[in-house]
Structure 1
Amino acid sequence: MKKLLAVIACLPVLLQNCAKTNDTPEPVSSVSTVSSVSSVSTASSVLSTTTYNYLVTFPAHIQTALAATDNMPANNPITNDGAILGRVLFYDKNLSFNRTVSCGSCHKQANAFDDEVALSKGFDNALTTRNSMSLLNIRFYKSGKMFWDERAATVEKQALQPIQNHLEMGLTLAELESRVKAQSYYPALFQKAFGSTSIDSVKIAKALAQFERSIVTYQSKYDRVKQGLETFTTLEARGEQVFLTAPANAGAVSCAGCHTPPMFLTSTPAGAFAFPREAGINGQPRFKSGSLRNISTRKFLFHNGTIADVSTMLNAGVPAHGVPRPDVAALLAFFNTLTDDSITSDPKFSNPFKQ
């Protein structure tokens, strides 16, 4: 699972994928809770499982984009029970070799399901070979191909690879299934999600994929503007126009050609940004284009994490992503409107393990 902020992109402009035990149950959210809390103790932690609603009715501009780009397969639709199981699996450190890391260790909610370092640490403190990509809005990546080089055909296929990676989590599929079966809280969760207490890697992958696809941003200022609830400032409006407009030079495409609104990503980018001497998609020197949502708060961009933040990228004139200096402030102002703070604090996406 390495950082979806692809920033591959457009030729001209821009941007560019434990402490002590706490026996207090997780609080029930008055907004998104569907039912009550139950807690199961393990040797070192308390697991709190609140039943949340993951079946969101999105605003019209988001729903229209979803209809055109949804990669959710018919055999694995998001359900509340499936996403709840996926959430537990996502944060469960039992799914790593020495039980020290989880999927959530490298895809942190507070960092927009991104990491705050260029390369993440695996279970034995070895560094990953790619930057951890954000998981925001991966459901809108139409091709469904995951990782910076798109080597996984679906989110389901992607979900198990970090667990098996010798640097990241270090388990075999047989070991994964054994670890999950050994935890007392899983049979009931699998029963509710899949109608059976039987546990296997296929179901584990499906549940993880349901949770990951549910992580959608739709409560930013940009979204309120598109719903007619708020208006851009003059500088923000200017930034949107810069983002949408292709420069005058021959062959140029707009930023939106690779980061298409309203989710600011596409699996069929209009441009191409080459990284010489690096093999990416189909062995070529290019990498996937990911969502720019929450880009203003994210750090270490591109597949190798070499660019500190979006301001650095614009001001340093990264090839094919630099912009005229007068436009930098406007673009940064516009990018700020893409920040959805709720996604980084909503309890339904948080760690259910209280340690």
Structure 2
Amino acid sequence: MKTYQKFLLLTAISLATACAQDVDPTEPISAVNYFVPKLSPTLQVAGFPQPERNMISVEGVDLGKKLFFDPNLSANGKVSCASCHNPELAFTDGVSLAEHGVSGEKLHRTAPAIFNLAWQTEGLFWDGGAHDLESLNFGPLTHPDEMGADLDEIITYLEHDPAYKKQFNVVFPEEQIESAQVSRAISQYVRTLISQDSKYDRWQRKEESLTDLEIKGYQLYQKNCSSCHQEGLFTDRSFHNNGLDKTYLNPLELEGLYQGRFRITSNPQDMGAYKTPTLRNIALTAPYMHDGRFQTLEEVLDHYQNGIQLNESLASQLTNGIAINQQEREALLAFLATLTDSLFIHNHHPKSN
């Protein structure tokens, strides 16, 4: 086993062990242990960005993970963050528009994957409406169709739970738990959701080989996809109109929800533009697009080959669509499958800890 792989495995085991331990309120906990995750060079990123006011620690990640999987934060005690961000599906939920929030009402956008978000500094949510993770978390926590939580009730619940109270006092030494601390803890956990050990990564690190078909697919990806899905994170972290629609409805009650990034910037060039999703773990994150309209990767390729809707804000790269034949399509799909990171899925599955 390569040195890098050993380090990743040992790190994952130690974090998993820390997160799995039950907290005994009678036992003292030492001061927080800050750390920086080990990164694969294949991510092609500069360092690990995190706000100085919320540096990650083993104890903070442990607390954030517990909150992430706790349905008691929701209004009905049945919906957790993991209800829409399931580790088995690379932290998505496998449905186009979810109805498993507290209200049972259908949402208007599909649940995006939430790994490698530490580097999403250009805005979060499909339209970039959240500046950072710390602000993003309040959206799903309090949205009446998602978790529907009352922040004051969350604080009461946490204050009266001895284990939670002890953990919060260690990670955030203020006398009382605050809603901002809840979001900061969840953010610490989410920043450690780093996918970086797929077959593609091992190939780039010269630890494994790709087949001839996969290499051909890689070349096709470079030619046709890499301008938006830039190698490394496999997203340019920006927003593009990819020709899904000719026009964009604007029902008054939805406040521009169908207008993409334009809703945030009021820039005509952002009409119908949405965040470029990562291609990492793409085989696990169906359905696709911001509204989950495509159920398979075959349908996605059909769109880019024959379904582009010309409009004034269409990304210039897509004016003529993407032209590939059936053999090239098979090769491209084979390469996309190499971006599945089984180690990441396993390490973050609650049953593996």
Match of 1:273 among 223, 242, 264: 242
Cα offset for 1:40?
5.8
Would you say 1:261 and 2:231 are equivalent positions? yes
Question: Residue 22 of structure 2: SS of its match in structure 1?
Answer: strand
- Residues 54 and 215 of structure 1: CA distance in aligned 2, closer, same or farther (over 3 Å): farther
Contact 2:18 2:58 in 1 (8 A): no
Match of 1:77 among 55, 66, 91: 55
Answer with 71-80 or 294-303: which moved more.
71-80
> How does the TM-score come out when normalised to structure 1?
0.77
The Cα RMSD (Å) is 2.7
Would you say 1:310 and 2:313 are equivalent positions? no
**Where in structure 2 are the equivalents of 1:60-139 lying within 5 Å?**
60-62=41-43, 64-67=44-47, 71-120=49-98, 121-139=100-118
Would you say 1:214 and 2:200 are equivalent positions? no
Corresponding residue for 1:168? 146
| 1:244-268 superposed Cα distances (whole Å, 9 cap, x missing partner) | 12xxxxxxxx411211111111223
| 1:153-199 superposed Cα distances (whole Å, 9 cap, x missing partner) | 11110011111101001123223322322333211111232234521
Answer with 276-285 or 311-320: which moved more.
311-320
Higher normalized helix content (fraction of residues): 2
**Where in structure 2 are the equivalents of 1:25-36 lying within 5 Å?**
32=15
Answer with 311-320 or 110-119: which moved more.
311-320
The alignment covers a number of residue pairs equal to 302
- Residues 323 and 105 of structure 1: CA distance in aligned 2, closer, same or farther (over 3 Å): farther
Inter-partner Cα distance in structure 1 for 2:133 and 2:214: 34
- Residues 351 and 158 of structure 1: CA distance in aligned 2, closer, same or farther (over 3 Å): farther
> How does the TM-score come out when normalised to structure 2?
0.78
- Unmatched 5+ stretches in structure 2: 1-11, 25-31, 249-257, 264-270, 309-317
- Residues 54 and 350 of structure 1: CA distance in aligned 2, closer, same or farther (over 3 Å): farther
Amino acid at match of 1:267: R
Match of 2:38 among 51, 57, 67: 57
- Residues 78 and 332 of structure 1: CA distance in aligned 2, closer, same or farther (over 3 Å): same
- Residues 96 and 33 of structure 1: CA distance in aligned 2, closer, same or farther (over 3 Å): closer
Contact 1:187 1:197 in 2 (8 A): no
Would you say 1:332 and 2:333 are equivalent positions? yes
- Unmatched 5+ stretches in structure 1: 1-28, 42-50, 246-253
Inter-partner Cα distance in structure 2 for 1:322 and 1:287: 19
**Where in structure 2 are the equivalents of 1:176-255 lying within 5 Å?**
176-196=154-174, 198-245=176-223, 254-255=224-225
Larger RCO (CA within 8 A; separation ≥ 6): 1
Inter-partner Cα distance in structure 2 for 1:239 and 1:53: 40
Cα offset for 1:241?
1.2
Identity of aligned residues (%): 26
Contact 1:116 1:298 in 2 (8 A): yes
Match of 2:22 among 39, 47, 59: 39
Inter-partner Cα distance in structure 2 for 1:222 and 1:118: 27
Amino acid at match of 1:138: L
Inter-partner Cα distance in structure 1 for 2:322 and 2:104: 35
Contact 2:18 2:62 in 1 (8 A): no
Amino acid at match of 1:39: D
Cα offset for 1:52?
11
| 1:121-157 superposed Cα distances (whole Å, 9 cap, x missing partner) | 20132222210111121112232x1111111111110
- Residues 113 and 194 of structure 1: CA distance in aligned 2, closer, same or farther (over 3 Å): same
Amino acid at match of 1:335: L
